[in-house]
Structures are given as C-alpha cells and as structure tokens.
Amino acid sequence: MNDVPELAEFAAELARGAAALVARAAHGELQVSAKSTDTDLVTVVDRASEQWLVDQIAARRPDDAVLGEEAGGRPGTSGVRWVLDPIDGTVNFVLGLPQYAISVAAEVHKQVVAGAVCNPATGELFRARRGGGAFLGEHRLRGPRTVALQRCVIGTGFGYAADRRARQAAVVAQLLPRVGDIRRLGSASLDLCAVACGRLDAYFEAGLNRWDYAAGALIAAEAGCVTSGLRGRRPSERMTVACAPELAPTLFELLEGLDADAVVDGP
C-alpha cells in the first residue's frame, strides 16, 4: 500500500497527466487573478490541474491525505500525503515563458519518499525516489559540476510581499560580487531540478512553500546534492539550498554570514 516504488510510479504518472492538461489549456482563456499580493497570480488552469490531481488520487488511493497549493487538500488515514503544486511558476505560465512545472511529492509519515516534476512546455520529467536515484527521463542525474564559488551560477527566487523582496534583494546585492552570476528563472521546483542535472551550480531561496520544494529537494538530494537549510536545519519554508557537496562549506558560510534565512513575515 505504501510501497515506495509504487508511490514513485504514481507520482510520475500524476505529474505527466497534469502536464498534459496544462499544455492543452495553455493557449485558452487563463482568467488570471491575484492571490496574496497583486503579483501572486493564479489562473483557472492552476485550479483545473489541482482538481485533476486530487481526483486521480481520490480514485486510486482514497485513504491518502493531500496538501495542494490552491484548494488546501484533505486529511487521510493511510500515512501517505501528496504535496501538490499544480503549476509552479504561474507568472511564467501567464507570460508564455516555457519555465513552469507540475510538482508532485509523496510523503510517508511526513518524510518525502518520491517526487516528480514535469515541465509541460518542454515535456521534461524529473523524478526520484528515496534511495533510488534521480532521473531526467531515463538519464540518471549526478548533480552540478565542481566549480569554485566565484565561478558558480546560482539560482534564487523572490517572494511576493514587498518586505520579503527588500530583504532578498539585500542578500543578492551582497552575493552578486562574490559569485559567477545569479539566475532568477521563476519556478522553484525546476530550479532544484536544474541543480540536480547541472544546469545551475546551486540554488537557494527563503520563503518557499512545501509544495514548491518537496519534490525538487528530493530530486536534488538523490542526484547527490547537499539539500538543506542553513545552520544544519532541514530544507524548509525558511530556507532551501541545493548545491554540490564540494561547494557546500563555502556557500553555506556565505549565506549564513548574510543572514539569508532571516525570518520575514508574509508570502
């Protein structure tokens, strides 16, 4: 029932299926509206994608719990919880920038054991199960190249509330002169997968939600990356970092020195 390979297979099936739905809907009427702030967007396609995911889970695994970004979810009795981002990177989706994804993670007793992230615009499917490695399609992922901090290309992201953004901008201002370059690609789950497959050397972001990072953090970890918060904490809403183990001591020291995980209220 809570067999990890089976959960991983279903996670991939869910991410692929919702990606097909989103790809079909991408050229239709999106009906964009704002959520927590004017810049935090949701569309009818985010809601339809989540509803489809929830319906599939209810049909196949009715005793599982669900946590979804848009509708909140429901409790369960099996010990399994599905953590769903029906579109991660909604602003890119609205703009037609092909960098957004469906992110599906399966937790057993609160530990993420399987994850799948599918980009509907490219068809790429990233997936992992705990202890079983990470894959892009059939290709096993091994994390980023080994490169010194001053040559690293580091992904990050920004929240939606002005206070949080001001704090994040201050951290980036200190970081930029010390690293190779910075990218803000607009989808946290794909950023984590980009580290897993070496398209980014590292990634960090404060203020994520569990559905943004649950699947991607497992994929990065299973690709051999250090995936963690600062000061020995686990990856969390407060801070999620992913990088090669060789880079971790210098990157973590720098981010800790900048207090990049300072607590800021708001989205």
- Contacting residues toward ligand IPD, per CB under 6 A: 85, 88-90, 157-159, 186-188, 205, 208, 212
Of the pair 143, 207, the CB lying nearest ligand IPD is at 207
Distance CA 56, CA 49 (A): 11
Of the pair 49, 187, the CB lying nearest ligand IPD is at 187
* DSSP β-bridge partners for residue 135: 127, 140
Sign of the alpha-carbon torsion through 214, 12, 43, 26: positive
Of the pair 158, 252, the CB lying nearest ligand IPD is at 158
In the complex, the smallest distance separating the C-beta of residue 62 from ligand IPD, rounded to whole angstroms, is 27
Altogether, the residues listed in the chain come to a count of 267
Residues that bind Ca ion (CB under 5 A): 69, 85, 87-88
Distance CA 31, CA 215 (A): 27
| Binding partner of residue 158 among Ca ion, ligand IPD, none, CB cut-off 5 to 8 Å per kind | ligand IPD
Of the pair 94, 114, the CB lying nearest Ca ion is at 94
| Binding partner of residue 157 among Ca ion, ligand IPD, none, CB cut-off 5 to 8 Å per kind | ligand IPD
In the complex, the smallest distance separating the C-beta of residue 116 from Ca ion, rounded to whole angstroms, is 15
| Binding partner of residue 261 among Ca ion, ligand IPD, none, CB cut-off 5 to 8 Å per kind | none
| Binding partner of residue 49 among Ca ion, ligand IPD, none, CB cut-off 5 to 8 Å per kind | none
Are 161 and 168 in contact by the 8 Å Cβ rule? The answer is: no
Q: For residue 146, what are the CA distances in angstroms to 3, 136, 142, 143, 196? A: 35, 20, 11, 9, 13
**267 Cβ partners below 8 Å, 6+ apart?**
36, 37, 40, 159, 160, 161, 164, 207
For residue 63, the one-letter residue type is D
| Binding partner of residue 64 among Ca ion, ligand IPD, none, CB cut-off 5 to 8 Å per kind | none
Q: Which residue is nearest to ligand IPD (CB)?
A: 157
Of the pair 42, 108, the CB lying nearest ligand IPD is at 42
**58 Cβ partners below 8 Å, 6+ apart?**
none
In the complex, the smallest distance separating the C-beta of residue 43 from Ca ion, rounded to whole angstroms, is 10
Q: For residue 263, what are the CA distances in angstroms to 127, 181, 207, 214, 266? A: 31, 25, 9, 20, 10
In the complex, the smallest distance separating the C-beta of residue 90 from ligand IPD, rounded to whole angstroms, is 4
| Binding partner of residue 222 among ligand IPD, Ca ion, none, CB cut-off 5 to 8 Å per kind | none
In the complex, the smallest distance separating the C-beta of residue 86 from ligand IPD, rounded to whole angstroms, is 8
* DSSP β-bridge partners for residue 34: 41
In the complex, the smallest distance separating the C-beta of residue 22 from Ca ion, rounded to whole angstroms, is 11
